[in-house]
Amino acid sequence: MTDLLAHDRIAVPNSPPPPGFVVREHHGCHRSLVPRARERFLAGGVVGPGIDVVAVPAARAAANLHQSAAVAAELDVPLVVLASRETVPAAAHEVARVHLPSDRIVIVTQNGKWHVPRVMLTADTEPTSRGRTSDTSAKRNLAIAMARMCGWERVLFVDDDVSGFGRLETDTVRRALAEGTGLEAVGWTFDHFPDNSMVCHAYRLAGAEQSTFIGGGALAVRVAEHTPHFPLVYNEDWLFMLPLMLRQEVALARAGSLTQDRFDPFARPGDAVKQEFGDVLGEGLFRLVHLGMDISAAQTRGYWRTVLRIRAELIERTADRLARGLGRRCPATQLVEAVQALHEASASYCRPIAGPTGIEVPWIDALASWVVAWRHDSLTWSNYLGELPTRVGLDVALRRLRLSRYEPPSMADTPPAPTPTVVAQRPARAVAAALT
């Protein structure tokens, strides 16, 4: 893996990794950037107004909605499911009905590609975002806009692969966004099975310390005019939380840890290329917070040259250790897949990115221009939220957002069951017949 940046010739040091294996300039843990909400803000018995709605950007089979529906029932709030792909609306409603009455269930769909109408987010049109097929960002943005119009001030996002909400966690939710804490969002980490990119999974596999950060999979958000948006890029939840982390007051905190479904992080090594741009963005922007640097630094080519040098060293050393069989024990097939994923990620640096005009640009230019577009989008999004009508009701909100609500068949639409033939019997025999 030489010449990882064809345009800028980043050199990868050949010195062996230090004992314990750590790439010194890579931050394997970002948790120091946010306080632990449970100890710092939830002590003293402060009880907030709780959550107004549970929102699920669902794309998996409807059976995965039991956890989020149970949480909505425990919190006594409506459940909004933004359903696509494998989430069949009728099946989703049936699952939710196990836990909630029908008037507390909102299953919505959108014809065509999921998007927020009447707002143009420039970074979402960047070449690096056009290949992104996930609709999670758009669904979360739609949920924020819907909440703004319906008067739901506190939204709990729960992904359909998340579990582990017990009594303690729902109690934390009720208190998390209480007035006086200054918190605008509270999230959970996933430690039972870490939710990392392929490169970071491989880094951990090689024996390094690599933790997880709070994410959109379980995130309680206070909705207001200045609530950030989720851009169309891998690590979109990090990009949502970064503006909160940069505010002077403490606006973001970690509530605890939850569980997500297990998956094979190296099942499709080619996906490492799809993750890499967003992962470099997230790690590079969080690095600014660690170093106390201004966000404007991320609009320069020089800053991203440094970030990509660190990333190249991380990939090079991790692949070398795994190829030599060092690190944590794992199946041989997973080891091969991890090394392949690293090679796929590093090879992507050698391919320039086609710009909006079709002209190919190096990664450092693409990263810098994406940050410029994203910062402009933050203002566009804030203006959009500020202009939305408020407390207009769900039907108006759905029409404005061009969403369709699934309506289950009513009892009047259900054909009556055939009347059974009644045969005169003694009471005991009638009961016995009914039970056979």
HEC assignment per residue over 213-282: CCCCCEEEEECCCCCCCCCCCCCHHHHHHHHHHHCCCCCEEEEEEEEECCCCCCCCCCHHHHHHHHHHHH
Instruction: Give pLDDT, residue 45.
Output: 53
Residue closest to 213 by CA, chosen among 289, 137, 277, 273: 289
| DSSP state at residue 65 | G
At residue 357, the pLDDT reads 62
Rounded distance between C-alpha atoms, residue 86 and residue 419, angstroms: 37
- Residue 49 CA to residue 144 CA, distance in Å, equals 18
How many beta carbons lie within 10 A of that of residue 105, not counting itself?
24
Nearest-angstrom CA–CA distance, 213 and 290: 14
What is the gyration radius of the CA atoms in the chain, in angstroms? 25
Share of the chain above pLDDT 90, in %: 59
N- to C-terminal Cα distance for the chain? Answer: 73
**Ramachandran bin of 393, using left for φ above 0, alpha for ψ from -120 to 50, beta for the remaining angles:** left
* Residue 167: how many other CB atoms lie within 10 Å: 8
Per-residue confidence of the chain (436 residues) as pLDDT tens digits?
Answer: 333 333 333 333 334 444 468 898 999 999 989 887 655 555 555 566 789 999 999 999 999 999 999 999 999 999 999 999 999 999 999 999 999 999 999 999 999 899 999 999 999 988 777 667 889 999 999 999 999 999 999 999 999 999 888 776 777 777 778 776 778 999 999 888 888 999 999 999 999 989 999 999 999 999 999 999 999 999 999 999 999 998 866 799 898 889 888 888 888 888 888 899 999 999 999 999 999 999 999 999 999 999 999 999 999 999 999 999 888 888 888 888 999 999 888 888 777 777 666 677 889 999 999 999 999 999 999 999 999 999 999 999 999 999 999 999 874 454 444 444 433 333 333 323 322 2
With a CB cutoff of 8 Å and minimum separation 6, the contacts of 431 are: none
CA distances from 135 to 58, 90, 233, 258, 398 (A): 9, 20, 10, 23, 18
Residue 81, strand partner residues: 56, 107
Q: Where are the beta strands (DSSP E) in 116-223?
A: 154-158, 162-163, 185-190, 218-222
- Asked if residue 258 lies in contact with residue 165, where contact means CB atoms within 8 angstroms, the answer is yes
The packing angle between helices 271-291 and 236-246, to 10°, is 10
What domains lie within the chain, and their CATH numbers? 35-408 (3.90.550.10)
**Which residues lie across from 353 on neighbouring strands?**
361
* Chain position carrying tokens 């099942």: 267
Residues ≥6 apart with Cβ < 8 Å to 398 = 108, 146, 404, 405
pLDDT in tens, 39-67: 555 555 556 678 999 999 999 999 999 99
Alpha-carbon span 80 to 216, nearest angstrom = 16
pLDDT per residue as tens digits for the range 11-23: 333 344 444 688 9
Predicted confidence at residue 88, as pLDDT, reads 98
Q: Which of 161, 134, 158, 157 is nearest to 263 (CA)?
A: 161
Residue 344: helix, strand or coil by DSSP? helix
pLDDT at 175: 78
Backbone angles phi, psi at 56, to 5 degrees: -125, 115
Write down the pLDDT at residue 21: 87
